[in-house]
């Protein structure tokens, strides 16, 4: 697997590429810095998102996991920049319980690019599986102008 590090206001991010697809994003510094067309484009887009000049990612993604995991990731990817929805909203679309959707959101292998931070619980803000937990989720939502519900 090829990797690279992208420094952002949300922390250093590690991109993982396999077979010309982004397969994961994590927090930290990559053990090895690779350069491929896919990694360089993903880096460029993450930096543009971080700078506030990109609202939608356009990258080749490969979500490993169950069909349900891929369906939930597809629904999260359809949530527009600056907007939120609930686990229940996604559950209704997929005919699944909100708790199952929450589990799939927590297992999102490509956070930020697949915007699980835009998914809330029925009563508001919930956890976030990325580094920094809910504080990072709040930072991402504020960055997108979706943090008004926090005031």
3-state secondary structure the chain: CEEEEEEECCEEEEEEEECCEEEEEEECCCCCCCCCHHHHHHHHHHHHHHHCCCCCCCCCECCCCCHHHHHHHHHHHCCCCCCCEEHHHHHHHHCCCHHHHHHHHHCCCCECCECHHHEEECCECCCCCCCCCHHHHHHHHHHCCCHHHHC
User: Is 85 a catalytic site residue?
Assistant: no
Catalytic residue from among 4, 73, 105, 116: 116
Which amino acids are annotated catalytic? 116
């Amino acid at each position: 697997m090829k990797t690279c590090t992208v420094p952002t206001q949300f922390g250093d991010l590690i991109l993982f590429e396999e077979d010309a697809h982004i397969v994961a994003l994590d927090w930290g510094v990559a053990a090895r810095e690779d350069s491929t067309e896919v990694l360089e484009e993903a880096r460029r887009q993450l930096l543009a998102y971080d700078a506030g000049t990109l609202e939608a990612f356009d990258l080749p993604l490969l979500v490993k996991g169950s069909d349900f995991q891929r369906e939930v990731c597809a629904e999260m990817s359809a949530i527009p920049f600056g907007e939120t929805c609930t686990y229940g909203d996604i559950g209704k679309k997929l005919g699944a319980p909100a708790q199952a959707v929450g589990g799939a959101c927590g297992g999102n292998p490509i956070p930020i690019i697949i915007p699980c931070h835009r998914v809330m619980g029925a009563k508001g803000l919930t956890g976030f599986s990325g580094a920094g937990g809910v504080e990072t989720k709040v930072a991402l939502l504020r960055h997108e102008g979706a943090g008004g519900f926090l005031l």
